[in-house]
Structure 1
Amino acid sequence: MNGIEKITARIGADAQQEIDALLAQTNVQVQEIAAEYEAKAARAAKEILDKGEQDAAVREERLVSAARMDARKAMLAQQQALMDQAFRKALDDLLNLPDKDYVALVASLIVEASQTGREEVVFSQKDRPRYGKAAVTRANELLGDRGHLTLSAQTRPIQGGFLLSDGDVEVNCTFETLVRMQRRTVERQVAQVLFEG
């Protein structure tokens, strides 16, 4: 398993763990919402039955259907909010890694993304002075004889991670992009778990 796969697997595992914890909480909330709507539908149905059995059956069916639809909408909104929260937390966790871990992670990602070993590494204005030199130096060490990466004097408005520039070709390895790519992959699996449960 290469570095990027390890990182994306770690992001996926962290996100999955967060989602599992939040899913348990959501299931309780969803059951409460469903019970509330079912209770409302049952009360309305009883009132209608007092007025007329046939009309009541039709109305009850509509109310139960509407209640189920409302409960499903509420559940979907809650599930989406939980996924948003889990992936925001994954990004925050990456951005708040201890300095040593951050440099090691970025250096391994640089090595994975490097095609020639001669690219320029572009960081954010905040990260360049803090991690740039150490990460590029470590990446060059990992690349061995192939390691001729340079720290770009330019910075970009990114939250974390880096861009790898080789002339007109740029590889986006920002944490935002890596988490977004991982989310696309994991979100389908998470949605299946949430919707089947």
Structure 2
Amino acid sequence: MTGLDKILKHIEENAVANAEAVINEAKREAEKIIADAEAEGKQRCDEIKKQSELSVKASISRAQSAATLQEKKLILEAKQQIITDIILDAKNYLLDLSDEEYFKIIISMIKRYALPEAGQILFSKKDFKRLPEQFEDFINSTLTDKIGAALKISKETSDINGGFILIYGEVEVNCSFDALFFAAKENLQDKVRALLFE
């Protein structure tokens, strides 16, 4: 082997050794980069998972709150409807009474709402047609404890659904069932609510 061959062989061996060293260093660097990337990827995955879990919990909590609120609203609406129906049933009960029972209630209402002065009383067209005989005399005989009270049954009728209207000059006292139930609505609702739901 000539001197040149030896030099070339030595240079080749050095180049191979250097190349292997560079390749090994590159492999180590690549493995380190891969390991770091995997660690960072795992950490990011854990963070995303944790954030997702928190987001899901928050969404579930909001959904539960909304569902609870909706449930309370529906229960309240149902209770209100039940109360309204009971009050309407009570009014319809009065309207469906026999003539005798109906006019007994009308008399007790007249005693309560009549003023101690002369006036007129108006009924609905339906009630006017079914007034008991001598009803005006009967009304006035029940008002003896109110000095000066006297009521004349008007030939005019009123567009009401049960009850009556008292007229004293310019003053009207609306004693129709609709007006009385409306005026007592809150009180009636409270009583029905207490009876049914407390």
User: Counterpart in 1 of 2:12?
Assistant: none
How far 1:183 sits from its partner (Å)? 1.8
Alignment of 1:1-197 (within 5 A): 52-131=52-131, 135-144=135-144, 146=148, 148-191=150-193
How far 1:146 sits from its partner (Å)? 4.8
How far 1:194 sits from its partner (Å)? 7.1
Question: Helix, strand or coil: the match of 1:119?
Answer: strand
Alignment partners' CA distance in 2, 1:120 and 1:184: 30
User: Counterpart in 1 of 2:14?
Assistant: none
1:168/1:191 CA distance change after superposition, 3 Å: same
- Any gaps of 5 or more consecutive residues in structure 1? 1-48
1:146/1:129 CA distance change after superposition, 3 Å: farther
Count matched residues. 147
How far 1:151 sits from its partner (Å)? 0.5
How far 1:136 sits from its partner (Å)? 3.0
What's the CA shift string for 1:38-79, capped at 9, x where partnerless? xxxxxxxxxxx9x94222211110110111111112112111
User: Counterpart in 2 of 1:26?
Assistant: none
User: When the two structures are superposed, what TM-score results if normalisation uses the length of structure 1?
Assistant: 0.66
Higher helix share: 1
- Any gaps of 5 or more consecutive residues in structure 2? 1-48
Contact 1:122 1:155 in 2 (8 A): yes
How far 1:141 sits from its partner (Å)? 1.6
Alignment partners' CA distance in 2, 1:137 and 1:104: 14
Alignment partners' CA distance in 2, 1:169 and 1:94: 26
How far 1:182 sits from its partner (Å)? 2.2
Contact 2:87 2:188 in 1 (8 A): no
Alignment partners' CA distance in 2, 1:193 and 1:106: 26
Higher relative contact order (CA 8 A, sep 6+): 1
- Higher alpha-carbon Rg: 2
